Amino acid sequence: GIDSHIHFIAPQQIEEALCSGVTTMLGGGTGPATGTFATTCTPGPWHIERMLQAADAFPMNLGFLGKGNASLPAALHEQIDAGVIGLKLHEDWGTTPAAISNCLDVADATDTQVAIHSDTLNESGFVENTIAAVKGRGICAFHTEGAGGGHAPDILRVVGEDNFLPSSTNPTMPYTVNTLDEHVDMLMVCHHLDAGIAEDLAFAESRIRKETIAAEDILHDLGAISMMSSDSQAMGRVGEVIIRTWQTAHKMKGQRGWLPPAGTGADSAEHSARNDNFRAKRYVAKYTINPALAHGIAHEVGSIEVGKWADLVVWKPAFFGVKPFTIIKGGSIAMAAMGDPNASIPTPQPVHYRPMFGAFGGSLHRSSLTFVSQAGLNAGIGERYGLHKTLSAVKNVRGVRKQHMVHNGYTPKMEIDAQTYAVRADGHLLVCEPATSLPMAQRYFLF
């Protein structure tokens, strides 16, 4: 799996993610710093060098995003030359139309991606102004529903734009009876707000809307939101990308029934009750091939193909999506569920995840990748920084559009009522009930 929205707040996140079946993490940060708590940016060449050096220690493919909020291109080129795979525009630093345009100019010149967290308060413009500032260029839209941030209340408008590559973060997925209550508190902490200040509370409440959160589930099922990610420790849980994806698929099957393959004209009368294969393919693509395509790493990871990196997750069917049996990195077993090492047999219980030989020594450096920019690779950052992992440059980024998102390229006309928050896609009102129970939850973690 690939998680493309990581706040690198703590290195322990990487082990947690690997144990969940994630083998590639993309994002930004410098550790438990105020900026990293809120934004996925690794700012400036010095921090970029240190994070790339730290990446050598982990059996995980890693790539870092620089800080994209700048008025002039020089500071952005400096970061891309230092090795970041793209740039992150975040409202906490001021995602103005000028910053958006400047950042995308640099991305176009360097074949790197831009990820955007737009302006919740609409201080520097509305969603229409952001769409206009992008000028039809490709861009990754994070937490597109808006609870994680973005133009309130209608950031979902971008789901209808072919050049926006939309993703969700996992705390709103799927919509449950507890979703709204936990989100206000999470938001207050992650964005350094004070519940005693009326304006701060109003800001938080403007982002948490049951109507758009409910619509998000259906937009995933329609293939209109293309990717899933975590937003680790900044309103998201790093070990639950895969779990939340399949919980959403389960909820949608229960509420919307069998999903016919796109473009076949099949309906529910023709389906087999023994499978829901197209829905399975649609949802697995959300955390595998689609984020790989969006960030220019699909030549290395994202699917099982000859010539790609052998990152594989093996599941026992009873625990699919919850607890992997074995995680293979670059062809070597890097993590597995194991019992007592002093046992006389290899299968004692209880078990917990332990690093395997692929996670140690020189094997670690040869079983995982560090993704960098082509400019950084050309500048010899591997030798300059003393890196040991294999470096791979992102490529073919700027031409990626929604239509390239596998099984998730639907681009409906989106309408969001500014007063009621009602969401319509191609004229259809998107409404669903919150889940009261979910599979793949606490019963799987009793031992």
In tens, the pLDDT along 174-207 reads 999 999 988 888 888 877 888 899 998 888 888 8
pLDDT at residue 15 above 90? Answer: yes
8 vs 62: CA distance, rounded Å: 11
DSSP, residue by residue, 41-104: ---HHHHHHHHHHHHTTSSSEEEEEEE---SSSHHHHHHHHHT-SEEEEEGGG---HHHHHHHH
Q: Quick one: average pLDDT of 75-101?
A: 97
How far from each other are the two terminal CA atoms of the chain, in whole angstroms?
Answer: 24
Q: What is the pLDDT of residue 262?
A: 73
Q: What is the pLDDT of residue 202?
A: 86
Counting Cβ atoms within 10 Å, is residue 197 exposed (0-12), middle (13-18) or buried (19+)? exposed
In the chain, the amino acid numbered 264 is: T
- Could you tell me which CATH number the domain at 2-289+401-429 has? 3.20.20.140
Q: Which two tokens stand for residue 433?
A: 């009930």
pLDDT band at 267 (very low <50, low <70, confident <90, very high): low
Cα→Cα distances 261→176, 223, 257, Å: 27, 11, 13
pLDDT at residue 268 above 60? Answer: no
Spans of all domains in the chain: 2-289+401-429
**Residue linked to tokens 């861009």:** 139
pLDDT digits (tens, 9 = 90+) for 18-53: 999 999 999 999 999 999 998 999 999 999 999 999
Largest CA distance in the chain: 66
pLDDT digits (tens, 9 = 90+) for 161-176: 999 999 999 999 999 9
Q: What is the pLDDT of residue 272?
A: 67
Q: Which helix H or strand E contains 370, and what residues bound it?
A: strand 369-372
Handedness of CA 236, 92, 292, 391 (dihedral sign): negative
Among 164, 102, 105, smallest CA distance to 136 is for 164
Q: Quick one: average pLDDT of 290-303?
A: 98
pLDDT digits (tens, 9 = 90+) for 327-370: 999 999 999 999 999 999 999 999 999 999 999 999 999 999 99
246 vs 261: CA distance, rounded Å: 18
- Write down the mean pLDDT value for the chain: 94
The pTM assigned to this predicted structure is 0.95
Q: What is the pLDDT of residue 234?
A: 87
Q: What is the pLDDT of residue 265?
A: 53
Kindly list the catalytic residues.
191
pLDDT at residue 271 above 80? Answer: no
282 vs 305: CA distance, rounded Å: 18
CA angle 286, 105, 87 (to 5 degrees): 45
